[in-house]
Amino acid sequence: MRVLVVEDDRRIAADLERGLRAAGYVVETVGDGEEAWFRGDTEDYAAIILDLGLPGMDGLAVLKRWRANDRRIPVLILTARASWAERVDGIDAGADDYLPKPFRMEELLARLRSIVRRSAGHASSVISIGDITFDERQMRVTVRGSPVALSPLEYRLASYLVLHRGRVVSQHELSENIYGQEDAHDSNAVEVLVGRVRKKLGGELIETRRGFGYIVPGADA
């Protein structure tokens, strides 16, 4: 999944990139408020990690602009500002969660998974579809209780479609959330990847909607 990190401290930004990539996310990073506002207003991300103390435009102002433009991307505020009043301001401005610095990467990842799940309508980090179970926290997939070895790209594709179960996802959207915008691949690469996932998890999990994309059918489909 594609995540935007908005952080002007290069050391913290680098730590976030490493931790998020290790957890299977596609990461883009910006360091000032103006660029953050533009990216969040024109691009689609699974979530945004937003620092408040930014050059150019304060993070709270950026968030308010996104919400005023009806941008509903989940936002996790990450900041050294620790007073309860500032946290209330952030939540009232439209933040989905708030994590003060310093932080543990494990907690940040847990909070990030939570806001992404909630935005997609899921309460648990474990999602079962028939005999297939996805454990988001452990990045683990089992079929009838037996673990299935998926490559990082295969896991990204399968988990993204499962998270958005019941919605047709275009090849372009899949490509951005599997490879990243700067390393986008053509539709043939996505088709090959879908074929590999079907081979490992069963052909009935992912349906092709010709000319539109792919879907993991919902419970009532």
Count how many Cα atoms sit within 13 Å of the Cα of residue 80 in the half-sphere of its side chain: 6
Contacts of 1 (CB under 8 A, 6+ apart): 24, 25, 26, 46, 47, 116, 156, 159, 160, 163, 177
pLDDT lower than 50: segments of the chain: 220-221
What pLDDT shows up at residue 90?
A: 83
Task: Give 169-216 as a DSSP string.
Answer: B-HHHHHHHHT-GGG---HHHHHHHHHHHHHHH-TTSSEEETTTEEE-
Residue in 126, 149, 150 with CA at minimum distance from that of residue 136: 126
Q: What is the rounded CA–CA span in Å between residue 26 and residue 46?
A: 10
Q: At what angle do helices 171-178 and 152-163 cross, to 10 degrees?
A: 130
Contacts 24+ apart (CB under 8 A), 114-120: 115/47, 115/74, 115/75, 115/76, 116/1, 116/46, 116/47, 116/74, 116/163, 117/163, 118/74, 119/47, 119/72, 119/73, 119/74, 120/163, 120/164
> What local confidence, expressed as pLDDT, does residue 124 receive?
83
Residue 134: its H or E element: strand 132-135
Fold of the domain built from segment(s) 2-119: Rossmann fold (3.40.50)
Are residues 202 and 132 in contact, defined by beta-carbon separation less than 8 angstroms?
A: yes
Identify the pLDDT of residue 134. Answer: 94
User: What is the structure's pLDDT at 186?
Assistant: 67
Q: What pLDDT score does 182 carry?
A: 57
Determine contact, residues 160/202, Cβ cutoff 8 Å.
no
Q: CA-to-CA distance for 197 and 186, rounded, in angstroms? A: 17
Question: What pLDDT, on a 0 to 100 scale, did the predictor assign at position 197?
Answer: 95
- pTM for this prediction: 0.84
Pick the CATH number of 126-215 from 1.10.10.10, 3.40.50.1100, 3.40.630.40, 1.20.1280.290: 1.10.10.10
The residue ranges of every structural domain in the chain are 2-119, 126-215
